[in-house]
Amino acid sequence: MRQATFIGSEIYRGSRYGVRHPLSIERVPAATDLARLLGWLPRGRFRTSPMARPAALRAFHTAPYIDALQRAEAEGRVSEAMRLKHGLGTVSNPVFPEMFRRPATAVGGGLLAAELVMAGQGPVYNSGGGTHHALPDRASGFCFLNEPVLTILHLLRLGARRVVYVDIDAHHGDGVELAFSGSQAVRVISVHEARRWPFTGALGDTAGGAAFNLPVPRGFNDSEFALVLEEMILPAVEAFRPDAVYLQCGADALLEDPLARLALSNNAHFSAVAALRDLAPRLVLAGGGGYNPWSVARCWAGVWATLSGQEIPDRLPEAAEAHLRGLDWSRRGRPAPEMLTTLRDEPRHGPIRDEIRDGVRHFRSRI
């Protein structure tokens, strides 16, 4: 197996959107520390993320928006005009101390990931990436900068002729689809909860032929995900013959997440990583959504274990268990006991509903 690289940064530690925001929790540090405690992050596999410069961000975002974002961080406030024009200082995208540096670091990690995979150095996990809602001139859905778009553009700039973007976040990646609508070089595949914000990504939405959207019903389970992965995602990836694949692994599709109503176990994410790791000639992996600190930390640590070929233990060692017990979440209290002692969820199988089969058949005809 090609050696995998983990990209992270200390900027995520202590950086929160506000005490009442869903991102009042720490996610990247929780997953990173858990992976370290399990011995999965030796020095040679970890790279510190650089911070992308404004010039790099302008490959997708407008110069006035980048200037406004930097100014909001420097001044710690926004004007009403800036709020209305750029979506800064809202309930979803509030002003906080690292509001430019944190997303710019995520983008820097994505750009570094693109350079590493295109240089043949194996798959890369950009732990702070996956911010798929940001628009060219506007923050949206907790996302200030669209790291997936900027990373994919860099892959193309570095010589990739075709790139597939696969998104298994509970929310549709509207910003990515917008960026590559009508593209002949990028295929966008999204599996997301139906009738969930941002209310885009309908079954019939093809974005000029570039998009494969599968909105799924509440209670989407592991059996249904396995069918979608084997019969839709993998064939759609393989048929496009990509030079690189980007997988967005949002953890909000898991049963315990408060902002969605899907019912996956983290085994679904691990299976997607394993399948695409073996299929993709080059693979960039990122996080995304996820608003339960325990389910996110366990999922993203396990995603890294799968990518890097580590064995997930049946029972966590004491140090890893103590780490999970030390996480806090003022909104929801404590997790189920097994979320503190294990990393891999019990599978959450169930019946495969007709609407899932129908959606897969729809896409098989397109592929």
Q: Which residues are catalytic?
A: 133
277, 48, 139, 117 alpha-carbon torsion, rounded to 10°: -30
Give the chain's radius of gyration (CA, Å). Answer: 19
Strand order from edge to edge, sheet including 124-126: 46-48, 5-8, 124-126, 283-286, 244-248, 163-167, 186-193, 211-216
